[in-house]
Amino acid sequence: QSVLTQPPSVSGAPGQRVTISCTESSSNVGATYGVHWYQQLPGTAPKLLIYDNSNRPSGVPDRFSGSKSGTSASLAITGLQPEDEADYYCQSYDSSLSGSVFGGGTKLTVL
Amino acid sequence: QVQLVESGGGVVQPGRSLRLSCAAYGFTFSNYGMHWVRQAPGKGLEWVAIIWHDGNNKYYTDSVKGRFIISRDNSKNTLSLQMNSLRAEDTAVYYCARGLYQGVVTSYDYWGQGTLVTVSS
């Protein structure tokens, strides 16, 4: 079974750069599926930030970027702003489940 | 613009049933696979179910198999989730979400605002 592991929390000062990791522990070694990232502001629905490892939907600022190498993916946020304070989730597909899996989420605090 | 609006949540006793609906606006509903994703209070996101654009294929997470049924009415642009034999652990905000791609290997590009289901005696 695939598990996506994220750090519970990260923090940074305004203007700084932070990264959030998403590591896959999976029986699907060798299978390659895209990793996607979501931002969830307090009390709101998740919003797609990055899809297929590194693609930004229209309207997402280029301060947000994604990458993937092997079984690890990362979300980077540059020029940190107070409004970036939110929960961030990675998501991918697990063929053993025939469904999606989400990471446990990372709470970003802007100091 | 694309909009997804859930309804039907509420408080229900364990073992009872509840039916959620999701009304879709602003896009050709019949072209997209649709999903339900839930979030227990204070917890992370959990994918629940998918239905293909034409309704011909459906998959569920293991914990709801045999209890939940996902369906859609493309003539009414509506997605549904029939939840039977509800358990306390089904308590969550339920979101409907649109799949960016057809099938299960996809991200979710639009989400509804969510509807809260509380299973409690």
Determine contact: A105 vs chain B, CB below 8 A: yes
Rounded Cα distance, B108 and B50, in Å: 11
pLDDT for res A97: 81
Residues paired with residue B25 on neighbouring β-strands, in sequence order = B3
Residues paired with residue B103 on neighbouring β-strands, in sequence order = none
A90 token code pair: 């990675």
> At residue A100, what is the residue type?
S
Residue B95 has its nearest CB partner, among A34, A45, A99, at A45
Find chain B residues with C-beta within 8 A of A48's C-beta: 100, 107-110
Determine contact: A46 vs chain B, CB below 8 A: yes
B15 token code pair: 């073992």
Determine contact: B121 vs chain A, CB below 8 A: no
Short-list B6, B36, B33, B41, CA closest to B22: B6
Determine contact: A88 vs chain B, CB below 8 A: no
What would the 3-class secondary structure string for A27-48 be? CCCCCCCCCEEEEECCCCCCEE
- Whether the CA torsion A5, A100, B107, B76 is positive or negative: it is negative
Determine contact: A47 vs chain B, CB below 8 A: yes
- Indicate yes or no: CB of B44 within 8 angstroms of CB of A100: no
Neighbours of A15 (CB within 10 A): 10
Residues paired with residue B37 on neighbouring β-strands, in sequence order = B47, B95
Q: What is the DSSP letter of B13?
A: -
pLDDT for res A44: 96
pLDDT for res B10: 97
Residue B113 and residue B61 in contact, taking contact as beta carbons nearer than 8 Å: no
pLDDT exceeds 60 at position A28: no
Residue A45 has its nearest CB partner, among B50, B61, B114, at B114
Tens-digit pLDDT profile for chain B (121 aa)? 999 999 999 999 999 999 999 999 999 999 999 999 999 999 999 999 999 999 999 999 999 999 999 999 999 999 999 999 999 999 999 999 999 998 889 999 999 999 999 999 9
pLDDT for res A32: 78
